[in-house]
Amino acid sequence: MINKNKISNLKKERRSFLKLTTFSVAAIGSSFAVWPFIDSMNPSADVLAQGIKEFDLSNIEEGSSKTVKWRGKPVFIKHRTKNEIEEARNVKLSELKDPQKDEDRVLKPEWLIVVGVCSHLGCIPSGQKVSDAKGDFNGWFCPCHGSHYDSSGRVRKGPAPRNLEVPKYKFIDTNKIKLG
Ligand code: FES
């Protein structure tokens, strides 16, 4: 004969188990419901990749350069001297592999802003530091296969087919730019 207390205990245990199971399923269900909501509050990969960034140029002295990271790439910001501007503007377009006027590559003559990635196979050219090799045209030199860029970031010699890219940017203050 089955003991009544034993049956009662078994029923209690069964009820507890059902409650626990129901609670767990609800908890799991709600975590799935919450995740898309939390996820939707994060910026999408596209928004992150757009990477609009502001940079202050006031601490970059004339004749020096600064490298900033934007969209995972180095961007060269060069505060050009009068000589460098003149050099860049005195070049005939017929001498250039990728003909572009210096005036069309800058918003303000003293500030050259280019993506620091060689158009040949993507190395980062040297020339950002005063002590760096700057190539035969006083700009940048890509040691990977010997491409030379001038003080406007235009390719002048070597296998690189194109000038250093000018990214989309604008001045939002006298000495502040917004990239992107
Ligand atoms: S990657 Fe610059 S010259 Fe080849």
Q: Where are the domains of the chain?
A: 4-42, 49-179
The Cβ of residue 149 has, within 10 Å, a number of other Cβ atoms equal to: 30
Catalytic residue list contains 145: yes
Q: What is the whole-number distance in angstroms between the Cα of residue 148 and the centre of ligand 1?
A: 9
In which region does residue 127 sit, left (phi positive, over 0), alpha (psi from -120 to 50) or beta (all else)? Answer: left
Helix (H, G, I), strand (E, B) or coil at 163: coil
Mean pLDDT of 124-136: 96
pLDDT digits (tens, 9 = 90+) for 74-100: 999 999 999 999 999 999 999 999 999
* pLDDT of amino acid 14: 53
Going by CA atoms, what residue is nearest to atom 3 of ligand 1?
145
Q: Which fold has domain 49-179?
A: Rieske Iron-sulfur Protein (2.102.10)
Mean pLDDT of the chain: 82
Q: What is the whole-number distance in angstroms between the Cα of residue 18 and the centre of ligand 1?
A: 68
* pLDDT of amino acid 50: 52
Own/partner contacts of 14-17, CB < 8 Å, gap of 24 or more, are none
Q: What is the whole-number distance in angstroms between the Cα of residue 56 and the centre of ligand 1?
A: 30
Q: What's the whole-model pTM score?
A: 0.73
* pLDDT of amino acid 45: 44
Ligand 1 binding site (Cβ under 6 Å of any ligand atom): 118, 120-123, 142, 144-147, 158-160
